[in-house]
Structure 1
């Protein structure tokens, strides 16, 4: 009789079965969001320009790696949540809730990190890019290649202006005043003539800032947006956990 009474009470929009179905639907959407988060993280890493190497901090790459890890964790967690609801397993639901909170923190951290770094980016570029050019060009091959690629892609020369090269330790034995990558039409030794008709006189700092900011906006929006959705998953799983425990179901 007591079981029949409890089952009769467990009806309506907050019943165990209803909460299980809602959790199934949430996990379906949750796993789709995990694929999206993973995809955005991979996209950020794959499309990451080589000149990100010139930044003084690794915040850009860190935010992308956090999203990739979160995406993988989301897929695994979604399966655990579905299994917990299907088998009415209290330990599974408890683990699912805690991992949801962990993913929430990871994605929120990636979003906040991306946002904070946007604010710092222009200041960092203004302070460090010229020194990075001066200290590494023709000394470290990976930096040299990154600087040349950036100057060609953005049609720029130097950090803030082409004259930056005149005040660096960079010296060319073949008489070039600026690297050949500064030229409007790149040819061997074209950097011997630094007139604006031959080279791109503007600096690279602003163009580089715009490109990286665009990436950070996407990373930040996805991280924060998806993390907010997970709050609903925590609420649903907690409600189901309490219901199962109150009605003596689950194990």
Structure 2
């Protein structure tokens, strides 16, 4: 084994470790978006906003597979494994490029996706069987917020009037104050920030994470392709010879 080949195999092993780390990072980003959508999906107009998350999860699975096969390639000289490794890297590159493009497009659509947010507050009933009410409560509890822009948004809702115009939902209560019951007599017990900005910032952060991680993964993919290309070039060609009839018989 030449020194250059040995170095290529060492680099490939390091690249495979980076693949696993990248798969973890991308997979966590995709899972985070999917969990957020599961809790707040009723607030979105278009389900296509979770496509980057789906592609990120698929990319993570393919990256894990590519990392395992790459480790085998760095140990065994197999043309078949090398070809499979290259195909997986190309698939990951296409998936990440698509996920990054969709994330970039969706960043500009996040605000418009949450424009109907106010309508969910207007339809709030407080009943546990009401999906819209559950979605509003889930958002306020998860992101520690109250109202669209602040807690005063509840003052213009029909639900607030039905309660006698004295309190907001308990999901607005700051959990650090255990005696909070949602009344407006002590507004300092409520979350002061609105939900829309927090929700938008959370989605935009993860979409940016997918974009930046796609760029980093693309750089790692290029190094991996160069390393395996070097191994494939150094692979000795199979020697062929013409068999005599006597040898066949």
TM-score (norm 1): 0.69
CA shift, 1:176, in A, is: 4.3
Q: Report the equivalent of 1:157.
A: 147
Q: Distance in 1 between matches of 2:149 and 2:214?
A: 31
Instruction: Tell whether the 8 Å contact from 1:23 to 1:236 is kept in structure 2 after alignment.
Output: yes
Structure 2 unaligned blocks of 5 or more: 240-249
Root-mean-square deviation (CA, aligned residues, Å) is 3.9
Q: Distance in 1 between matches of 2:195 and 2:59?
A: 33
1:99 aligns with 2:88: yes
CA shift, 1:121, in A, is: 1.1
Q: Report the equivalent of 2:116.
A: 128
SS in 1 for 2:45: coil
Instruction: Tell whether the 8 Å contact from 1:67 to 1:107 is kept in structure 2 after alignment.
Output: yes
CA shift, 1:248, in A, is: 0.6
CA shift, 1:177, in A, is: 7.9
Query: Which of 224, 232, 247 is residue 241 of structure 1 equivalent to?
Result: 232
1:187 aligns with 2:181: yes
Q: Distance in 2 between matches of 1:137 and 1:243?
A: 70
Instruction: Tell whether the 8 Å contact from 1:70 to 1:103 is kept in structure 2 after alignment.
Output: yes
Query: Which of 8, 13, 16 is residue 24 of structure 1 equivalent to?
Result: 13
Encode CA deviations 1:63-83: one digit per residue, 9 max, x unaligned.
334323322321221221232
Q: Report the equivalent of 2:196.
A: 205
Instruction: Tell whether the 8 Å contact from 1:88 to 1:249 is kept in structure 2 after alignment.
Output: no
Q: Distance in 2 between matches of 1:43 and 1:124?
A: 18
CA shift, 1:209, in A, is: 1.6
SS in 2 for 1:78: helix
CA shift, 1:88, in A, is: 1.7
Q: Report the equivalent of 1:81.
A: 70
Instruction: Tell whether the 8 Å contact from 2:89 to 2:225 is kept in structure 1 after alignment.
Output: yes
Figure out how many residues of one structure are paired with residues of the other and give that number: 232
Q: Distance in 2 between matches of 1:27 and 1:198?
A: 50
